Structure 1
Amino acid sequence: MDIANYFQRNLVIFQIEKVQKLKQKYLYLNDYGIVEFPELILACSSLKTLHLHRNQIAELPSSLGNKLKSLKYLSLQFNDLHHFPQCLEHLSSLVSLNISHNPIGFLPECISNLENLNYLWCNCCGLTTIPKQIGNLKKLATFGARNNKIVTIPDTITNCEELCWLSLEGNQLNELPSFCNLKNLHHLNLNDNYFFQIPSSLCRIKTLNYLHLQNNRITSLNKKYIDKMAKVKINLLNNPIENAYEFIKHKNVMLSNKSLKQEGNNNQEEYSTDSSDLDTEWEHSSTDTLYINYDSSSSDYNSEQDNNELDVITAPKLTKFILQ
């Protein structure tokens, strides 16, 4: 065992024993090269927040769900889980779960047992479907399933009436169920899919502020839809829109210069929009979950804190011991 791994292992043990002795509620073991889930964690019954992302964990102990009953915030992203851990179904108090960047393949039906979930991220997990049981998560406010292979979305997702942030970017979708019941939806990311038009049901969501449809296959825009969504910022960059010129004066619509030039307009620069026009809130509205801070105090974007975390993540192993 090299010196870095030796210190890594002992620091992990130290951190866990400290939490256990002082009955602390938070344990952060990100990027420690952990291969096997430390059994000592199961004795930390006071834990409410457990961060284990950027390790190499392939299995979770079956008793985890029964031992850590108070757990509310769990981050497992960037590990080596090849299936959704069955033990998680017993964490009925769980509010936030991030299992992104694990090759789990699918979400099981037992996801419905996590009835208190507010935040669920499963980006880059090789998903091809979303189970209909997703509709049982009545408190779900944020759901991210980016960069998977999802072809359809179950109708039951419309039962998640508290949903306000939904990201389905980088899938294989060309239609949606009617989203009319999603009366709290604020942000919808459908970038990099196969949509040929803007789904009509989105026009009836009065709370919608951001709609991302960049890199789809949209060839024409319906003026009636665009007018109904006058208060929605719509990202339509990199779509082969044939009637783009008709909408260059719509300040809420972001169009590609390429589409406008195809119209043969010599003055398109006066009205055209491009990615350089992004304001701060728009830019952050499609941020990947790795850069979203969601501990017990906040679920909002926090660039300063997350940049500091990334500095630690990319530093050499021994840097951790200097920073302790």
Structure 2
Amino acid sequence: MNCVFEFFRNHHILAIVEDALENKAYTLNLSRFQMTDIPDLVEKCETVMKLFLNHNHLTQLPDYLNSFHRLQILTLDYNHLQQFPTVICNLTTLRELNLSCNQIDELPPEIGRLTELEIFWCNNTGLTKIPQEIANCLRLETFGARGNQIDVLPTSFGLLHRLKWLTLENNHLKTVPSSIVALEKMVHLNLKNNHLTEVPTSLMEMKKLQFVFLNGNRIEAVDGEVLEKTKFIKMINLNDNPIREKTELMNQPHIVIDGSSVGNDSNNNGDDTSNDDEDIHNDSDLSDWENSVETSDIDTTDESTEENDIEDISVLIPELSRYITNFN
């Protein structure tokens, strides 16, 4: 790296941290600085609740993050982490965590200590399994682990009763546990490009479901009872499956197969995306959250005021869940 560039970059980083200290800021944005280490001065930023460290060259996190007892949002996507930083498990106030695009093949059992976690992204990390202890994250509403090597889900997944959005496309799943039937608030289920051989019968009981992506699996037939009892679902995408008998499926308004669309709704064209921004903002439970941008591209500006306390910021968290990393 050019030494002049490095000099100005380091001073810019320190200036940002010093400003956060002086203003007792709730937000500290140190993303996209090519940092290999986090400045020691950050340890003094005790008021920070949103810490953006994405798009850097970090290989580890400092132990002093243990003292960040107010931290609610932490983004670490697009770094060089080789394993899950254990210090994160001590950040028990976290509500949103993004670890996407690192080299993290395993989540520790201690992940269950993050009992306030609502949004968790670990896309494209090489993850091979999810520990049973994930069920302790009872507030989890959004979970994304695209582009990994997961071949089985823990049965404890059924205990995540608040889960609304589950995205596990491009993994190695052959089945899903029957316990997911208990996920009664599930709205969006993405199991695209896995190794499933049948439509999970659990879908018949998950009455809040609106969007289900099963395209790119190994499904050869669909049970008639499943067809009949899943009509409450707005869309089930079955494109790119080796289904033998397709005639009945093509006559079902909620089934997308071989490029067919659902009913007369042009937004549901079978590509698991929606371009209706108004729908996303006004009716989040009915929207398809696949059409999204990187989590790191959310507004990271600080709006700290005397009135802007922890409760004010927390109401923004659900809205942020639509800003996810989209891998095709």
Question: What TM-score bracket applies, with the shorter chain setting the length?
Answer: 0.7 to 0.9
- C-alpha deviation, 1:44, in angstroms: 0.1
Unaligned runs of 5+ in 1: 259-272, 307-324
How do residues 165-244 of structure 1 correspond to structure 2 at under 5 angstroms?
Answer: 165-178=165-178, 179-232=180-233, 233-244=235-246
Q: Does 1:286 align with 2:290?
A: yes
Q: 1:279 to 1:79 in 2, by over 3 A?
A: closer
SS at structure 2 position matched to 1:12:
helix
Q: 1:63 to 1:293 in 2, by over 3 A?
A: same
Matches of 1:149 and 1:191 in 2, distance apart?
13
Contact 1:193 1:216 in 2 (8 A): yes
How do residues 1-324 of structure 1 correspond to structure 2 at under 5 angstroms?
Answer: 1-65=2-66, 67-178=67-178, 179-232=180-233, 233-257=235-259, 274-275=270-271, 280=276, 284-287=288-291, 290-291=294-295, 293=298, 296=313, 297-300=316-319
Cα deviation 1:249-285 (Å, max 9, x = unaligned): 2121111159xxxxxxxxxxxxxx6549966368842
- C-alpha deviation, 1:301, in angstroms: 6.2
Contact 1:293 1:302 in 2 (8 A): no
Cα deviation 1:155-182 (Å, max 9, x = unaligned): 0111111111111111000111111211
- C-alpha deviation, 1:229, in angstroms: 1.0
Matches of 2:171 and 2:272 in 1, distance apart?
25
Matches of 1:125 and 1:54 in 2, distance apart?
14
Contact 1:170 1:191 in 2 (8 A): yes
Amino acid aligned to 1:290: E
Number of residue-to-residue matches in the alignment: 290
Amino acid aligned to 2:197: F
Q: Which is worse superposed, 88-97 or 289-298?
A: 289-298
Cα deviation 1:101-156 (Å, max 9, x = unaligned): 11011000110111110111111111111000011111111111111100100101
Matches of 2:129 and 2:299 in 1, distance apart?
25
- C-alpha deviation, 1:7, in angstroms: 2.2
Matches of 1:109 and 1:277 in 2, distance apart?
34
SS at structure 1 position matched to 2:63:
coil
Contact 1:128 1:149 in 2 (8 A): yes
Amino acid aligned to 1:97: L
Unaligned runs of 5+ in 2: 261-268, 281-285, 301-312, 324-328
Q: Which is worse superposed, 54-63 or 248-257?
A: 248-257
Amino acid aligned to 2:181: C
Matches of 2:259 and 2:188 in 1, distance apart?
24
Cα deviation 1:28-56 (Å, max 9, x = unaligned): 12111111122211110000000111100
Contact 2:273 2:291 in 1 (8 A): no
Matches of 1:15 and 1:298 in 2, distance apart?
24
Contact 1:100 1:121 in 2 (8 A): yes
Matches of 2:58 and 2:133 in 1, distance apart?
27
Contact 1:293 1:299 in 2 (8 A): no
Q: 1:125 to 1:294 in 2, by over 3 A?
A: farther
> TM-score scaled by structure 1?
0.83
- C-alpha deviation, 1:183, in angstroms: 0.8
Amino acid aligned to 1:173: L
Greater gyration radius: 1
Matches of 1:276 and 1:201 in 2, distance apart?
21
Percent identity over the alignment is 29
> TM-score scaled by structure 2?
0.82
- C-alpha deviation, 1:6, in angstroms: 2.5
Contact 1:80 1:102 in 2 (8 A): yes
Q: 1:62 to 1:138 in 2, by over 3 A?
A: same
CA RMSD of aligned residues (A): 2.4
Amino acid aligned to 1:137: C
Matches of 1:279 and 1:256 in 2, distance apart?
21
